[in-house]
Every structure is written in structure tokens, then in C-alpha cells.
Chain A
Amino acid sequence: MAVPVIKIENLVKRYKDLIAVDHFNIQINEGDIFGLLGPNGSGKTTTIHCILSLLSFDKGTIEVFGETMRPDSYELKRQIGIVMQNVAVFDALTVYENIDYFCGLYVRDKKLRRKYVEETIDFVELGQFRKFYPKKLSGGLLRRLNIACGIAHKPKLIILDEPTVAVDPQSRNKILEGIAELNRQGATVIYTSHYMEEVEQLCTRIAIMDHGKNIAAGTADELKQMIKKSEKISIELSAVSEADIGNIRALPHVYDAVFAKRQLNIACSGGRHNLIHILNYLQQHDIPFGRVYSELPTLNDVFLEMTGRGLRDV
């Protein structure tokens, strides 16, 4: 039985004329790594701010751990760790002091705090930088410090808003592994990003957001099943006649076939044996072919089909 950690119903948030979040619904359960995927400006950060009751909203309800979050819900806040989109650390404090300062806002006990801070420093692998000031850290290390400041107090719910923007691939992988580890240790995670690969790799459940609306939600596989084009087959060919292309289009489950640059791209829906049907056809008609690729759709394809544009073209 899934225990809801966050439940958002019909959330509407306007900035003057702009509707940033539009009748948005999600439920995030205990143990999830919940991905909020959407292009820039789709309303992810706004939603997070509403959850934290930093922003007032026009309509809807938000429950966190079964309670309505208010600015003075200090007990709720104690159980939440947030890593904001913008790095927020004190330039005048060292790595260690920054983590200790923010941890100290949550944990009063000094001994426990020291233990948490040490564990966090190990966790984000900033051990050799503990005496560094943030100005001296590279982008990736700074992001890791930013994360460390948000999670040092071992919260039950961790919210990360685009924590990997402008981060080198090595740091990015460390961050993603770290988040998975926190989840294994029992934290529920909300992760927003516009990088579909990250979300797909990391998240157990995903909501796709566009113009403030939740356009689809589910596991990555569930999302991919929702679209027509669920398999993309590419075959290297030297030549193929228009008639053959027409016939291939007529095969079951195939709904499009295009020949370009010595490659036949075929989009298929549903079905399990699409590749066999196509290869059989080519063989029967003595059409020689080279390499064959079969790709499952990505979340980008899902987004593309649902909105008519790619995640990246925004």
C-alpha cells in the first residue's frame, strides 16, 4: 500500500497574466524517486516553491506528509531537505562551515550534527576541500556542496531542483549515484530536470510537465506505451523502390516509413515482432540490407508526440 508523501490537487499558480502551473495533479509516494520532467519554463520550480509554501497559489491543495504545509509548519520543514536550482551557500564560510551552518538549522544536538556533517562530506566526496571557500570550487564541486547543504540533516523527503545544470559529466554521475543511494537509505526523492536521460536513468516514477500541466505520469515504460510510435527501426539500404516503401508502410503496426541518406527509417507501434515482419519482407523481395537498428522510444519521443515539439527545442 503506497503511502503518499506529497499530494497535489488542482494546483493553479498565476504570475499576473501568465499561468505558470495549470490544474496540476500528482501524488508522490514513500520510497519513490519521482521525476518532474519538463522543458525550461514549464513550471517545475514554481511547483516546488508552492509545495514549500514559499509561494502563494491561486487554487488547489497541497499536502505534505498528510498535512497542509504552511510557512510556520516547522515540524514538517524539519523532515524536508531542499536543493534549489540556484546555488545558495555563503561565500564567507568554508565548505565544512557551510554544511555545518545549514545542518545546524535543523539539528540542535552538537555531537549528532558533527557526525552528520562528516558523513555528508564523505558522501559528496568533498573531504579534501573542507577548508575551501566556495569561490575556489569548480562548478561541479560547488553543486555538490549545494546538495550537501540541503541533505546533511538526513531528511525523509529530499527535493532537488535541477541539481545537475552546468555540471561536468563526472560530477553529474556522482550526483545521480548519490541520489539513488539516498533513496536506498530510505529517503523519498523529488527530482526535477529537463534532461530526459537523467530522469529515465534515475527515477522510478515520472511526471511530464508542459506549460504548467501534467501531461502524463507513470514509470518510464508506462509512458512509452502511451504513445503510438513505440519502436523505431532503421535499416541501412543502398536503394529501395517507392512501391516497396508503400508495401512496408502497409505492414501491420508500421505507420510510417521514410527512406533517406541510404537509410530506411520505420516507425512502428505496439506489436512484438515488427522487426521480423520487416526483415522477412526485405528478404522475400531480394532487397539487400546492411546494418539494422531497433530503438525503443525515448522520453523525448513521448514528449514530442504529446506536445508536438521536442524537450530540447524550447
Chain B
Amino acid sequence: MFWHEFVYEIRRLLRQKEELFWVLMFPVILGTLFYFAFGSINNTTENFHTIPVAVCRENGADNRAFTETLTALCEETCPPYFDVSETDFHTAKKMLQENKVRGIFRIGEEVTLLCASVEAENMNSTLAIEQSILEMFFQDYRASETAVTELIAENPAFAQKMPGLLETVSYGSPKKLTDGNLDNTVQYFYNLIAMACLFTSFAGAYIAMNNQANLSALGARKCISPCRKSVSVAAQFGSGILTQFVCLAVPVVYLVYVLGIKFGVGLPLLFLTVFAGCVTGVAFGFFVGCIGKVAEGTKVGILVSSSLFCCFLSGLMFGNMRNVVEKFCPFLNVINPAVRISDSFLTLNIYGVNGRYFGNLFALFLMAAVFLAAGCMMIRRKTYASI
């Protein structure tokens, strides 16, 4: 029964031309338009710029591990990761306000990072990206530091065998930054894929509607057959994700190989990200599809508008939108799947696989699980007061 449903659902999905258009052709077309609108990206690409930072030492304090890490990143990478100005805190703050540096490392008993707030007037998206690189670097540095400190605390012998371990902790694997592409127009392409991922919600909505007696005549026919709803939904969910994922791969490959958009990582990681986005999209659609007696057209309307709205907030139309949201309602960025998807690509490009990337994936799968569970709750009841 599972396979019967699985196979037929694939057939149906692959023949639904309108939905295929939105997931497959639309991103290709829009991507091409973006490409020409932004000019030939490959030529204008400024690869990674060195990020100016200030370092202040309180009362001449030092932290060898941190200093060495910083030095390594300045001297051993090309172009250098950071451009360090050592000054006192007062001057540093002034520099930050004037946008001469992106952040201030204060070395005291602990190392802290101070950045301009995103609401600063002169903030633009390039600055915002640089600032987030800085934050990411610092997060990862702190994570490795904590790990080593804990290791030593648990196992003091370790420290004796390896004197200077803590000192040599440096930020583990700085990605070859030149692979990345910091041209802020790439964000539009990332958001474009996020949008395509959210458009998979149409397929999800039909799974719900085709299995619910009070939602469609087909659903009624399904409900009077001896096939369990749970089996049908599971099978169709599987084929929905599979087909949508395969369709989404087309625009991704197109962006990478035809338009030459830089993602900074290979296809497998891109596909993993798209897969997560597609699971979330289908689950979201399923959830909306399950909502009681709302007309099919209304549901499609809800899906289109909410997908586009999410992408709008994440910067598909105005690149700076995400920063604006961060200022007024940061939580919205946390739960906006479009932000999580495009941020995954941004993280991959700038930094490769790291905690923030996995955090994004986790958030996406968590959202999918919540939508799926909520949808299932809604359609569990099996006799209806009204059809």
C-alpha cells in the first residue's frame, strides 16, 4: 500500500505543470534576470576584503591563545583575515562609530567582542556581512577554547603531557576565504533558492487536501477506502519531498554551473541545505492544507503570500531587509525559514560548515517537525460533523 501510494504520488506530482513551474522554472528565470540585472557578477566580484578590527588590552592584559590565533589569521592567510589596530578602548569606540573598524576585541580576564549595533544608520549589507563574519569567528573561537579548557579540567594529565596546549588553541579551520564570494548580490540568489524551497509547500498542501474527507471529494473517496490515512500521508510525504527535492536541484545546478554564482562549497552541502529547506516547505504546506474548511484557492493564496513574505523579510527584494527585521523583531529572523535557508548558504560561503550552519539545519528540521505534528493533529479525527 505504501509503495502504491508512493509511486502514484510521484507520477501525479511530476505531471502537475503549474507546481513544477514554481519550483523548477521560476527560480531559473528569476535567477537569470537577477544575473543580468546585477551585471556580470564574476567580473565585479571583489573577493573577501580584510576586515578591520580594533584590539584593546585592559591594563596590558594578554591572552596568548587569542593573540596567536589572531596573528595567524592576519599573517598566514592571504588576503589577511583581519586588519588589527591596537588602541585604547576610547579610540576604538570612536573608530567603531565612524565605521573604521567592524568590531572591538577587548582582552581582559576574558576576551569579549563588541560590534556596532545593526541599527546603526550607516549599516549596509556588506558591513553587516563582515560583522557577522567577525561574530562567527569569535563564537567558534570561544567554542574551541571552552572545549580545550574542559578537556584539561577533566584530565589534568593531558595538560602536563602537552604543555602549551591552551596557548596553541587557535581557531581550528579557517576556511580559505578566497573561495567565498562576498559580493552582497549573492544574497539575492540565496534568497531565491529559499523561495523555491518554500514553494514546495504547494505539494504539501495537496497531500493534506487529498486525504481529508471534508476537504475534497477525492479525500472523501480516500477515507472510505480500506487504506489507512497514516500510511497514505507518510507515503505521499515521502514522494513529495523526493520529487520537490529533485526539481529544486535543477535551479541550484543552474545557478552554480550556468550562472556561476559562488556558493563557496560543493554541491553535496548545497543539496543538504536544499533538502532541509524542501522538507520544511512541504511540511509547512501540509500544515496549511490541513486547516479546516478553507477553500483550496484561499490556501494556495496563503501559501504564495506567506512564502513571498518570508522571502521579502529575508531580503529577496531589498537586501537590507533582514537587518531591519533584526532591529525591530529579531525573533522573526529566528523562525523565518527563508532566513534560515539563505543564512545557511551565507554561512557555507563565508565560513564553511560550522555550528551556525548546523544550527540553521536543526531549526529547519524542527520547524518541519512542528508543522507536520500540528497538521497530523488536525486531520486525525475521522468522522466529521459536516462535510
Report which A residues bind B (CB closer than 8 A). Answer: 15, 49, 52-56, 71-72, 74-75, 77-78, 80, 82, 84, 86-90, 92-93, 97, 101-102, 104-106, 108, 149-150
With A54-B387, A92-B16, A93-B12 given, is the CB distance from A72 to B224 under 8 Å?
A: no
How far apart are the CA atoms of A71 and B222 in the complex, in Å? 12
On whether the beta carbons of B382 and A72 are closer than 8 Å, the reply is: yes
Residue of A15, A53, A55, A84 near B221 (CB, 8 A) is A84
Contacts of A108 in B (CB 8 A): 1
The total number of A-B Cβ pairs within 8 Å is: 77
Contact bitstring B214-238, A, C-beta under 8 A = 1, else 0: 0011101111111110000000000
Once A86-B217, A93-B11 are accepted as A-B contacts, the answer to whether A71 and B227 lie under 8 Å apart by CB is: no
Contacts of B217 in A (CB 8 A): 84, 86-88
Q: Is B385 an interface residue when CB atoms closer than 8 A count as contact?
A: yes
- Distance in Å from the Cβ of A10 to the closest Cβ of chain B? 18
Known: A56-B383, A84-B220. 14 other contacts (CB 8 A): A55-B385, A71-B382, A72-B382, A86-B217, A88-B217, A88-B218, A89-B218, A92-B11, A92-B15, A93-B11, A97-B8, A104-B8, A105-B4, A150-B221
B224 CB contacts on chain A under 8 angstroms:
52, 54, 77, 80, 82
User: B384: CB under 8 A from chain A?
Assistant: yes
Q: Using A90-B12, A92-B15 as known contacts, say yes or no to A56 and B384 having CB atoms under 8 A apart.
A: yes
Q: Contact: B225 with A54, CB < 8 Å?
A: no
A149 x B221 contact (CB < 8 A): yes
Closest B residue to A86 by CB, please name it: B217
* Selected A-B contacts with CB under 8 Å, 12 pairs: A53-B382, A55-B384, A55-B387, A56-B384, A71-B382, A82-B221, A88-B220, A92-B13, A101-B4, A104-B4, A105-B1, A105-B225
Q: Is B386 an interface residue (CB 8 A)?
A: yes
Q: Are B226 and A106 in contact (CB under 8 A)?
A: yes
> Footprint of A on B, CB under 8 Å?
1, 4, 8, 11-13, 15-16, 213, 216-218, 220-228, 382-387
Shortest distance in angstroms between B16's beta carbon and chain A's nearest beta carbon?
A: 6
Output the nearest chain A residue to B232 by Cβ-Cβ distance. Answer: A105
- The answer on a CB contact under 8 Å between A90 and B218 is yes
**Cβ-closest chain B residue relative to A52:** B224
B228 touches A74 (CB 8 A): yes
Contact A88 B226 (CB under 8 A): no
Quick check: B221 and A54 within 8 Å, CB to CB? Answer: no
CB nearest to A79 among chain B residues:
B226
Chain A positions within 8 Å of B221 at CB level: 82, 84, 88, 102, 149-150
Question: Whose C-beta in chain B lies nearest to the C-beta of A77?
Answer: B226
Q: Which residues of A contact B384 (CB under 8 A)?
A: 54-56
Tell me the complex Cα distance, A71–B225, Å.
10
8 tightest A-B CB contacts, nearest first? A71-B382, A88-B217, A74-B226, A105-B225, A86-B217, A92-B15, A92-B12, A77-B226
Report if A102-B213 is in contact (Cβ < 8 Å); known contacts: A55-B386, A56-B383, A97-B11: no
* A52 contacts across to B, CB distance below 8 A: 224
Among residues of B, the one whose C-beta sits closest to the C-beta of A49 is B387
